[in-house]
Amino acid sequence: MRTIRPSPSLTNVRYEIRGDLARRAHEMERRGYEIIPLNIGNPGLFGFRTPETMRLAMIENLKSSEAYCHQKGVFPAREAVVMQQQSRGVRGVSVDEVFMGNGVSELIDLVLRALLSTDDEVLVPSPDYPLWTAAVTLNHGRAVHYPCRPENGFEPDPREIEALITSRTRAIVVINPNNPTGAVYSRATLEAIAHIAEKHHLVVFCDEIYDQVLYGDAEFVPMATLVNGTLCATLAGLSKVYRACGYRVGWAVFSGEIEQARDYLSALDKLSSLRLCSNVPGQWAVQTALGGYQSIYELTRPGGRLFQSRQAILDGVAASKYLQVHAPRGAIYAFVGVKDGALPGFDDQQFAMDLLEHKHVLLAPGTSFNSAYNTHFRITNLPRPEVLADVFRRMEELLDSYASGAEPVSRPAPELRIITK
């Protein structure tokens, strides 16, 4: 029989967050091992609850959720997004420029598919959330990575960005607050990127899914308030700020040079129609979420659970002989690295596999975020502080074995229990 082969368009697509390591973790769990899953930012997995008012809004509108809605989404949800943007100082936005999607993930694919021709280039940060690079590739474009260097706190240098622009460059992606690094970009950096985009007529895609997840004195500046002379798309949703990943509700709202982008927006409307509509029940939670009490601040302020778990990561790194980190100022991750010269030959992929096999902790290696170096890994601060403290003890045991050249000591295998009557 003829072998069925996958599309060659997938050759350079990577998503290790749910790749080989995650599959291996699943196999181990089926054999009875307890795995600590730090590979993905999934709040519900760690006991975070969606605000009750959002659940009630969905229940009360179930009778209105059985038919397809408009391809752009239900009006109250889109209107709530417009009101949020206006409250932030974004001008010229109406419900016609808001597209609801099955999470930001679907919208990333749609906004790129409507824009790109073969070999068009998109500037993407490195490290990045790998779906951006994957979606550019799957839509026949070429991702050109601009560096966000550890020595600069993972904030990009606008001069390096502009040097990468060619006649094929169509767009630039800005992820702020950043996944995977936790960086929150300064106003000066964002203003410089906005100027570059306007100068070169680039579409600006702003991934702002963590817009209210901030720590300390970090200030979030909405990119759409800075971009006027070109098209700007702001992507956000319910998954992280409102701990509603499973609702699969995101939105893309367009601002800036709307009139010059009517053909593009019509193409995006066509793509939205082809998938009929996005999840209807979850959309009824948007108005309540954006207009109601913002409980995220209870979690991110000192004493809040996300703040304290972030501190547990910082404490774990500080106590390590081998690790270093730039304190995340936003989002729900830290991008931890190995100190220069501490462990020659360190490889993030091998470390991630050894940590899983021997210490039963699952995390994402840094190279899976399209970083140019293999000395980092991403960890989420969603678990409770005591869990993260235990994780860093397990890491240090493994790193000690690397330093001494000894074989890693594995945690005990699951106990077999024989049940008798």
Confidence at residue 15, expressed as pLDDT on a 0 to 100 scale:
79
**pLDDT band, very low/low/confident/very high, at 229 (cuts 50, 70, 90):** very high
- One domain for residues 88 and 29: no
Residue 19: pLDDT band by 50, 70, 90 thresholds? Answer: confident
231 with 102, same domain: the answer is yes
> Residue 205: its pLDDT value, please?
98
pLDDT of residue 27 exceeding 60, the answer is: yes
**Residue 321 and residue 354 in one domain:** yes
Q: Are residues 315 and 255 in the same domain?
A: no
Judge whether 227 and 255 are in contact, CB under 8 Å: yes
pLDDT computed for residue 4 by the predictor: 86
- In order of 66, 158, 280, the CA distances from 61 in angstroms are 10, 46, 10
Whether 18 and 118 share a structural domain: no
pLDDT at 13: 79
In-domain check, residue 414: no
Whether 321 and 246 map to the same domain: the answer is: no
What CATH number did the domain enclosing 230 receive? 3.40.640.10
Check whether residue 206 and residue 281 sit in a common domain: yes
pLDDT reported for residue 69: 92
Which of 291, 306, 331 marks a domain boundary?
291
For residue 421, is it within any domain?
Answer: no
What do you get for the CA distance between the two ends of the chain, in Å?
A: 50
Closest CA to 198 of 255, 148, 132: 255
Q: Kindly report the CA angle at 374 between 105 and 190, in degrees rounded to 5?
A: 50
In-domain check, residue 340 = yes
The answer on 143 and 22 residing in a single domain is no
Please report the pLDDT score of residue 416 as a whole number: 53
Give the per-residue pLDDT at 170. 98
**Mean pLDDT for all residues in the chain:** 94
Average pLDDT over every residue of 87-100:
94
Q: Is residue 36 part of a domain?
A: yes
Q: Over pLDDT 70: what percentage of the chain?
A: 98
Q: Does residue 148 lie in a domain region?
A: yes
What are the φ and ψ backbone dihedral angles of 83, each rounded to 5 degrees? -65, -40
Task: Give residue 415's pLDDT band: very low, low, confident or very high (50, 70, 90).
Answer: low
Q: What angle do CA 105, 111, 116 make, to 5 degrees?
A: 125
203-207 vs 169-175, strand pairing mode: parallel
**Mean predicted confidence (pLDDT) in 267-291:** 95
Q: Please tell me whether residues 329 and 234 are part of one structural domain.
A: no
Residue 25, pLDDT score: 94
The answer to whether position 301 is within a domain reads yes
Q: Are residues 260 and 328 in the same domain?
A: no
Q: What is the mean pLDDT of residues 151-177?
A: 97
**Spatial CA neighbour of 374 closest among 358, 355, 354, 351:** 351
Size of the chain in residues? 421
Residue 382: per-residue pLDDT: 97
Q: What is the pLDDT of residues 111-157, one digit of tens each?
A: 999 999 999 999 999 999 999 999 999 999 999 999 999 999 999 99
The answer to whether residue 411 is domain-embedded is: no
CATH of the domain at 35: 3.90.1150.10
What is the count of structural domains for the chain? 2
Does residue 3 sit within a domain?
no
Q: What is the tens place of the pLDDT at every residue in 333-366?
A: 999 999 999 999 999 999 999 999 999 999 999 9
Range of the domain at 141: 52-291
Domain boundary among 269, 291, 313: 291
- For residues 190 and 263, membership in a common domain is answered with yes
Residue 372: CA count within 13 A, CB half-sphere? 10
The reported pLDDT for the residue numbered 282 is: 95
258 shares a domain with 206: yes
